[in-house]
């Protein structure tokens, strides 16, 4: 059928093609994951106090959310809530997380709804509960 040298040559060609294909795939994969990890965070505007404001829906991660998150108050008023108020107390351990969860009211809680200045309270926003 094929001589020994032809079989060796065919084997080498196959190995080179497989290795080349793997290298191209890895290079393409690396470029695509690099591009995904550098997605542009939204460029939120700042109020007179230097606080960023806007919709959290535009954020690429919780860390990229604005300091003032747009919200609709219980009476339909449009305004902003402080991200730190919205997030609430953050636990430092699993035990603390359980304690915080157990101490929360099943009806939720109210936090202030601010104007874009982050100072003027214009209403109430309800977090959690029913």
CA dihedral (107, 112, 115, 120) in degrees, to 10, reads 160
Is this model's pTM higher than 0.85 or not?
no
pLDDT at residue 115 greater than cutoff 80: yes
Give pLDDT, residue 48.
Answer: 95
Q: How many CB atoms lie within 10 A of CB 112?
A: 16
d(CA 100, CA 88): 10
57 phi, psi to nearest 5 deg: -65, -25
Q: Cα(108)–Cα(67) distance, rounded to whole angstroms?
A: 21
Measure the CA–CA gap between 16 and 80, rounded to whole angstroms. Answer: 60
**C-alpha 42: how far from its chain's center?**
11
Which residues, listed in sequence order, are joined to residue 121 by a DSSP beta bridge?
114
At 70-86, the pLDDT tens digits run 999 999 999 999 999 98
90-112 pLDDT, tens per residue? 888 999 889 888 888 888 889 99
Segment 14-73, tens digit of pLDDT:
776 666 666 666 666 555 555 444 456 688 999 999 999 999 998 888 889 999 999 999
User: Cβ(52)–Cβ(68) under 8 Å?
Assistant: yes
């Amino acid at each position: 059928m094929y001589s020994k040298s032809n079989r060796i040559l065919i084997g080498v060609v196959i190995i080179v093609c497989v290795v080349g294909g793997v290298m191209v795939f890895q290079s393409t994969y690396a470029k695509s994951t690099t591009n995904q990890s550098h997605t542009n965070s939204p460029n939120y505007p700042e109020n007179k106090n230097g606080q960023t404001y806007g919709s959290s829906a535009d954020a690429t991660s919780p860390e990229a959310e604005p300091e003032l998150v747009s919200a609709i108050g219980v009476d339909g008023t449009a305004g902003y809530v402080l991200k730190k108020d919205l997030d609430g107390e953050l636990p430092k351990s699993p035990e603390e997380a359980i304690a915080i969860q157990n101490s929360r009211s099943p009806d939720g809680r109210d936090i202030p709804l601010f104007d874009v200045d982050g100072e003027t309270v214009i209403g109430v926003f309800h977090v959690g509960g029913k």
